[in-house]
Chain A
Amino acid sequence: MKTTVSRRTFIKGGLAGTVAATVLPEKKSQAATFEGYPDGMGVLVDLTRCVGCRSCEAACNEEQKLPQPEKPFDDFSVFDEMHHGQKRRTDETRYTIVNRYDVPGLDHPLFRKIQCNHCQEPACLTSCFVNAYTKTPEGAVIYNPKVCVGCRTCMIACPFYIPTFKYSSAFNPRIMKCIFCYDTRLKEGRPPACVEACPQEALTFGKRNKLIEIGRQRIRETPDKYEDHIYGEHEVGGTAWMYLSSVPFDQVGFDTHVPKEPILNYVKDFLGIVPMVLTIWPALFAGFHLLATRKDWLKNKNEDTHEEE
């Protein structure tokens, strides 16, 4: 556990230092990569098994006490809904969504369930300046509405466009996103509501490490059926929810351009200079000042000595 926290502490040390302007960052050698909790849980979503029944959407809605949607969950016309040329997405009334994709050359459509992927090193968490997010040892990324300020940086940072905001509320807005049923289920070791509701076993709940093995096994046993890739194994440094697909992932709406390393790595360059600026700048500019004003100073001194004589 020691190495897992040290990199964050390192960066915290750096930034907190900028505020106090006193502390130096801890030694860089400790800066190991945080790889999430080893025993964290996850879910493996197998697109080849999903039939688009939307039972998972309904279960989520009930479990999280979200408002009743306009169209019932057995209405499949929602798959044709388009907004700004985009398919449906999560919002303040729904933490998970199933979308249909008609892949050219395939005689049946494919369905993809979307929800928070519960990243190993979540961008939402690292970008939040009030620490509203927590990655629990069980693997969930949860959110604390009591401290959130509503700056929406987490929404900018999430590479999967997952956190949504209650723009409709003036007095009680908050971020709304899937929390892996943490409070009601995951904490007790039970799978989330959507997984339990799925009639097709398209969703497999288990330890993340184990799920990667299962995924590899399925690919190995039926290589014709699967793309040789588990989406989420390495994407943005790894996610707890991962996907298997029978077609290239970009054909079923996945962003295949997301980096293979944690988003935080992109910010590190800047974070690295902070302690430097803090320690070097004062001396540097005080020096400049002395140099630039040396003449005046000498003049003053001379005048002083003249006066004394």
Chain B
Amino acid sequence: MRFFSHQRPEIPIVDHIKSDGTEWTIKEKLWLGLSASDYFKQFFRNPVNWLMIGIFAVGVPLILQRYIYGLAAVTHASNDYPWGLFLGFGLFGMVPLSASGFMLGTTCELFGRKDFHPIERLALLNGLLGYFFAVLFLEVDLGMPWRLPYPMFVSLGPAAVLFLVAWHVATYLSVQIAEVLPAFFEWIGWLKGKRVIRKMVLGLTIAGIILSTLHQGALGALFTYAPSKVHPLWLSANFQWIHFFCSSIFAGLSMVIVSSTLIRNFAGWRCDDTFKNSLDDITIKLGKGCSLAMITYLVIKIVAIAHDQEWAYLLTGWGSYYLLELGVGVVLPMFMFATAVRNNSATLARAAAWITVFGIIWNRLNTSMITYNWQLYPEIPHWKEVWITVTIYSLYFLTYRFIIYRLPIVYNWKGKK
């Protein structure tokens, strides 16, 4: 961002008022206070954007192909493997990584921990976007995407786990929109709206906890419909929902660490000093939370194996794979987090967070695709399926960045609040 230099002290925009006393218009705010040509110059100077253009150039036609010729044209979804990457990664992976919103909402609003305040909005935004894009992934995967509201309004099957997921994700999305709105209201300068939401914050937060506990768990419970298909090590009828819920705690926290790291490193111009100066400290505290959640998770994983008498499976090939997943995805980062806390090293905590995020996606893919049908044959996703997944994830990235650049998420609004 070389354009944000000393010659124009009023950008990046942090206030309604320009240095000459006039107000920024919304349009100017959207352009980050730059002229169109400057904006595009900086846009095309960034190699990441070229990568995005490349991804979209192939991905958008593929998505069109999916909607014109059906799922068979772009995926390897089959009668044996009804779910592929769109849900395996997009739904089962994105949702736990978005647990950050409810985690930090609870910490700040409910437990009154003001020290986490600088990162609260980022966590809420991370949650909102994660859920929103999980729904988008779902819309690519559903056979009849135009019937998305059916389970809500047209034909209700309230005894099904997916019914609960649908309702909760929908309600929780609205809760999260409400939680992120204050940042938007500050930015456009509509303070009345902000005050209204401020009054509801406690209610929203508690609703967030309930909905999150239930739907994070419900995503796990979905697999208990297939007790003879998913490998027993990855499935526990009694504990599946706790496994999914508990792992979403460290998944969400790690995802905020990852995204705050990226923002600090690549969008440092947008962060204010409060954010930058408190970030290391917050990262370590979040790391502490992660390591605690991880040890709990490990314990209930072991309890599940003991409960279902599955020790013998651990000696098989799948058992080694299972131990590898737990070792790399949970035990390793757990020790890294613990060491990071002891040595006060934010860098180590950040490395651990990256591994955790990878580990959680790996676990969800293992449950939904890799060990699913372990007695049949393995299925490898179509390259187009992979590409569409990457395309939608890129759209997620761009939206995320678009909002971070503009709304007061990692900086404090200087104008009236």
Residues of A within 8 A of B (CB): 8, 11-12, 15-16, 18-19, 21, 84-86, 89-91, 123, 126-132, 147-153, 155-157, 159, 161, 163-170, 173-174, 255, 257-259, 263, 266-267, 269-271, 273-274, 277-278, 281-282, 285-286, 288-289, 292-293, 296
Contact = CB atoms under 8 A, between A and B. Distances in A.
A129 B226 contact: no
B79 A164 contact: yes
16 contacts: A15-B159, A16-B158, A84-B377, A90-B79, A130-B150, A131-B155, A132-B157, A148-B143, A148-B147, A149-B142, A151-B143, A156-B82, A156-B225, A167-B71, A168-B72, A173-B143
B251 to A, nearest CB: 19
A268 B167 CA distance: 19
Given A168-B72, A270-B217, A282-B210, A128 B106 contact: no
A244 B72 CA distance: 37
B176 interface: no
Given A129-B165, A151-B142, 12 more contacts: A15-B163, A19-B167, A132-B155, A147-B147, A150-B144, A153-B222, A155-B79, A165-B82, A258-B228, A267-B161, A274-B214, A296-B112
A150 B147 contact: yes
B150 A149 contact: yes
B285 to A, nearest CB: 16
Interface stretch (B33-41, B62-70, B273-281): B62-70
Given A18-B167, A286-B206, A289-B111, A270 B377 contact: no
A289 B228 CA distance: 43
Nearest to A148: B144
B191 to A, nearest CB: 22
Contacts of A258: 228
B162 interface: yes
A173 B70 contact: yes
Contacts of B227: 259, 263, 266
A168 B83 CA distance: 15
A152 B151 contact: no
Interface stretch (B125-133, B237-245, B342-350): B237-245
Contacts of B112: 289, 292-293, 296
A168 B70 contact: yes
A149 B149 CA distance: 9
Given A129-B166, A167-B72, A170-B70, A91 B155 contact: no
Interface string B142-181: 1111011011001111111111111110000000000000
Contact of A19 (B154, B158, B205, B209): B158
B20 interface: no
B315 interface: no
Nearest to A269: B238
Given A15-B164, A127-B225, A161 B80 contact: yes
A161 B226 CA distance: 10
B297 to A, nearest CB: 17
Contact of A281 (B147, B160, B164, B213): B213
B206 A281 contact: yes
B309 to A, nearest CB: 15
B202 interface: yes
Nearest to A288: B110
Among B67, B112, B227: residue with most chain A CB under 10 A? B227
A131 B158 CA distance: 8
A64 B170 CA distance: 38
Contact of A161 (B79, B109, B214, B222): B79
Nearest to B113: A292
Contacts of B135: none
Among B141, B143, B161, B220: residue with most chain A CB under 10 A? B143
A130 B151 contact: yes
A167 B78 contact: yes
B162 A129 contact: yes
A93 to B, nearest CB: 11
Contacts of B66: 170
B376 interface: yes
B209 A281 contact: yes
A157 B226 contact: yes
A153 B225 contact: yes
A255 B70 contact: no
A300 to B, nearest CB: 12
Contacts of A129: 151, 157, 160-163, 165-166
B155 A147 contact: yes
Contacts of B147: 147-150
Contact of B237 (A84, A86, A150, A269): A269
A91 B79 contact: yes
Given A84-B377, A150-B147, A165-B79, A130 B68 contact: no
A131 B157 contact: yes
A25 to B, nearest CB: 12
Contacts of A150: 142-145, 147
Contact of A289 (B70, B83, B110, B217): B110
